[in-house]
Copies of this chain bind each other. A is one copy, B any other.
Amino acid sequence: MSEGVEWAIHCCMVLAVLPEEATLPAERLAEFHGVGGPYLAKHLQALSRAGLIQSTSGPRGGYRLARTAEEITLLDVVNAIEGQAHAFRCREIRRRGPVAGAPEEYRQACVVARAMRDAETALRAQLSSTSIADLNRSVKRDTKGRATVATKRWLADVAR
Interface residues of A, Cβ cutoff 8 Å to B = 1, 3, 5-7, 9-10, 13, 31-35, 74, 87-91, 93-94, 96-99, 101, 105, 108, 111-112, 114-116, 118-123, 125-127, 130, 134-135, 138-139, 142-143, 146-147, 150-151, 154
Cβ-closest 5 pairs across A and B: A34-B96, A122-B126, A123-B123, A111-B138, A119-B126
* Set B98, B119, B151: member contacting A123, Cβ < 8 A: B119
* A93 touching B126 in the complex, CB below 8 Å, given contacts A101-B146, A135-B115, A147-B105: no
Q: How many copies does the complex hold?
A: 2
Residue on B with the closest CB to A130? Answer: B115
- Report B-chain residues with C-beta under 8 Å of the C-beta of A32: 97-99
Judge whether B119 and A9 touch: CB under 8 Å.
Answer: no
Judge whether A101 and B143 touch: CB under 8 Å.
Answer: yes
* Set B89, B94, B105, B147: member contacting A10, Cβ < 8 A: B94
Give bound CA distance, A90 to B114, whole Å. 30
Judge whether A74 and B10 touch: CB under 8 Å.
Answer: no
* Set B9, B98, B105, B126: member contacting A146, Cβ < 8 A: B105
Judge whether B98 and A154 touch: CB under 8 Å.
Answer: yes
* Set B1, B116, B142: member contacting A116, Cβ < 8 A: B1
